[in-house]
Amino acid sequence: MEKKTLRNFLICGLILLIVSLFPLVSNNFIIRFGTDILMFAIIASAWNIIGGYTGYASFGNVVFFGIGAYITAVLMEKAGMHFGIAYLAAGGGAALFAVLIGLPVLRLRGHYFAIATLGVAEAMKALVQNLEITEGNSGIYLPMLDLSIQGQYYFFFYMMLGTLVMTLLVTYLILNAKLGYSLIAIREDEDAANSVGINTTLSKTIAFALSGLFTGLAGSIYAYQQAFLKPGPAFTVHTTVKMIVMAVFGGMGKLFGPLIGAFGIEIISETLSNYFLVAHTLFFGTVVILAIVFTPKGLIDLITQRKFGISYFVENIREHRI
Amino acid sequence: MAILEGKNVTKRFAGLVAVGDVDFYLKQGEILGLIGPNGAGKTTLVNVIAGVYAPSDGDVYFKGKQISGKKPYQIGRMGISRTFQVVRPFPGMTVKENAAVGAMYGAGGKNKSAKEAIRRAEEILEFVGLADQMNKGADQLNVASRKRLEMAKAMAMDPELVLFDEVMAGLNFSEIDQAVELIKKIRESGMTILIIEHVMRAIKNVCDRIFVLHHGEKIADGAVEEVLNDENVIKAYLGKRYKELTH
């Protein structure tokens, strides 16, 4: 057991090393593409904490992304703060918002929770559109990063990479601590979890706050990278859908599932849009549907179980048919 | 001294009185059987004790402290654990993880790390006889093993009082006898037990005292033989032919 853990750590370290060296041997277009993948990997992994492990499918996680982005923009542009401070404040602010909104919303379960979180995100968008400090619908500019073009590409890539590593590391630590067990217990049966002594409200709120924290950090880097923010794109429901699809595609409730999902989805959609200029979303949708039907447990299950036979797919269809 | 005491406990659901003005007590170390026909309010009473419902009237005291109105997890951490009539293991976890969650968050969980809790879970599973199925998924167990796991989860919490809600329903005779042995073993380890059961064979074997509910009201409370020969109990629950069948 210990030996296996050590081996897994070594493999992860090796992959991390390769990914960190990757920008040095590729062009800026590809670095930018890699940065996007890392960003989606962060927010999909953050969604996994509340949606995958705790079983609360949030349809409004983009609200943390937008809040993180706008906190960064306002602090840097209006208060002239350094990005480092704005970055931490963005994460903290999004986590705090998650706690406040979680108190009422986490009392709901299932579809009701999903709809309520969706509503929260839309409401926040409307608020940001009408506030003076966020400059409403006309959008807000951020100060430019004072680095060479090449340096900027490197900076954002490594910021995203660092944040992703932090997200996965924290998730890993949680999973091996009591908190992780309480989250999975809540997902499996919340009332039974309560009766074995788990303060379900507290556990759920912590999970939601952590999900908000990392999503907010990703939003912060995104804002600095874009250098210009508008409420529409920052709070779009499209981002939420994307993180959920990635998490499910890769394997929700699995540590590396969302990461693999983000990587897979981005590569597929990029390749498709290269070949089919107009119809690529159609093909993309088909790929996602096929993946969900044949591997409902996600790509990670295929990789870890090493089952590629037809029987594996047949079994999946039989188990998960409605 | 009574470890658990209920005074005038009443639970109403929108006018329907599920439990009406019931007094009860449990002495340290005893096994109390709670019997009664379906719909008598047995499970409701357990739910009131465990904090799922707050009583509409009356109070419950555990070791002299009022617990009515507290949340289930608070009561669980104070040292009362319960099983569910319809077993509720965490299906996506292994048997070991199921018991470990109890060990982590129950009365004995405060000073335990996740690793220590897992070790405790292994001990408990050994104790209830599930050691060989420890690494199976909880959803792969058969009925008897599921009931055992439900008991293991409750015991892993290191409670002083356990509430067993029909842990023998659906078991065959030899499985019932094994469960009876297990319950006796649990008592020997120092726990006080409240047991709801329809299986008379088990009730007669393990209980020190019986308590009968009918339409939410207490109709008898006393030594096993005495209660089972009580006119009212026979009429309300056991049936006229009970004596002929058992004697």
What ranges make up the beta strands (E) of A105-181?
140-141
Statement: residue A321 has pLDDT above 80: no
* A178 → closest Cβ in B76, B82, B104: B104
Do the beta carbons of residue B87 and residue B165 sit within 8 Å? no
Do the beta carbons of residue A121 and residue A60 sit within 8 Å? yes
Do the beta carbons of residue B56 and residue B12 sit within 8 Å? yes
Statement: residue B18 has pLDDT above 80: yes
Residues of chain A contacting residue B52, judged by C-beta atoms under 8 Å apart: 191, 195
Residues of chain B contacting residue A193, judged by C-beta atoms under 8 Å apart: 90, 101
Q: Please give the average per-residue pLDDT across A79-91, as a whole number.
A: 95
Residue-wise pLDDT for A140-152, tens only, equals: 999 988 888 889 9
Contact B101 A194 (CB under 8 A): no
Contact B76 A195 (CB under 8 A): yes
At A146 the pLDDT is 85
Residue-wise pLDDT for A269-313, tens only, equals: 888 888 887 787 788 788 888 888 888 888 888 887 776 677 777
Question: What's this model's pTM, rounded to 2 decimal places?
Answer: 0.90
Residue whose structure tokens are 């026909």: B37
Q: Which residue has better confidence, A119 or B229? A: A119
Statement: residue A319 has pLDDT above 80: no
Q: How far apart are CA B132 and CA B150, in angstroms?
A: 16
Q: How far apart are CA A47 and CA A258, in angstroms?
A: 9
| Minimum CA–CA partner of A173 in chain B | B114
Cβ–Cβ contact A188 with B under 8 A: yes
Residue B5 is inside which H or E element, if any?
strand B2-13
Do the beta carbons of residue B123 and residue B116 sit within 8 Å? no
Its sign, for the CA torsion A306, A312, A313, A317, is: negative
Contact A185 B90 (CB under 8 A): yes
Contact A181 B100 (CB under 8 A): yes
The C-alpha angle with vertex A231 and arms to A226 and A236, in degrees rounded to 5, equals 90
Contact B77 A197 (CB under 8 A): yes
Contact A184 B93 (CB under 8 A): yes
Cβ–Cβ contact B93 with A under 8 A: yes
At B241 the pLDDT is 66
At B152 the pLDDT is 93
Q: Please give the average per-residue pLDDT across A148-163, as a whole number.
A: 93
Q: How many contacts, defined by CB atoms under 8 Å, are there between A and B?
A: 81
Return the domain boundaries, chain B: 1-70+199-247
Neighbours of A282 (CB within 10 A): 11
Do the beta carbons of residue A214 and residue A194 sit within 8 Å? no
At B242 the pLDDT is 67
Residue B117's Cβ-count burial label (10 Å; 0-12, 13-18, 19+) is: buried
Residues of chain A contacting residue B50, judged by C-beta atoms under 8 Å apart: 195
Reported as half-sphere exposure (CB side, CA atoms, 13 A), residue B54 has a value of 6
Q: How far apart are CA A193 and CA A184, in angstroms?
A: 9
Model confidence band, residue B246 (pLDDT cutoffs 50, 70, 90): low
Statement: residue B86 has pLDDT above 90: no
- Type of residue numbered A62: V
Residue B19 is inside which H or E element, if any?
strand B16-27
Q: Which residue has better confidence, B97 or A3? A: B97
At A297 the pLDDT is 83
Q: Please give the average per-residue pLDDT across A309-319, as a whole number.
A: 73
At A166 the pLDDT is 96
Residues 6 or more apart whose Cβ sits within 8 Å of residue B111 = none
At B245 the pLDDT is 58
Residue-wise pLDDT for A60-74, tens only, equals: 999 999 999 999 999
Do the beta carbons of residue B65 and residue B160 sit within 8 Å? no
Residues of chain A contacting residue B107, judged by C-beta atoms under 8 Å apart: 197
Statement: residue A262 has pLDDT above 90: yes
Q: Which residue has better confidence, B136 or B233? A: B136
Residue-wise pLDDT for A188-225, tens only, equals: 999 999 999 999 999 999 999 999 999 999 999 999 99
Statement: residue B235 has pLDDT above 90: no
B130 vs chain A: nearest CA distance in angstroms? 19
Q: Rounded to 10 degrees, what is the CA torsion of A144, A148, A149, A152?
A: -60
Q: What is the CATH number of domain B1-70+199-247?
A: 3.40.50.300
Neighbours of A251 (CB within 10 A): 26
| Minimum CA–CA partner of A188 in chain B | B90
Q: Which residue has better confidence, A90 or B166? A: A90
Cβ–Cβ contact B77 with A under 8 A: yes
- Type of residue numbered B71: K
Q: How far apart are CA A165 and CA A42, in angstroms?
A: 9
At A1 the pLDDT is 56
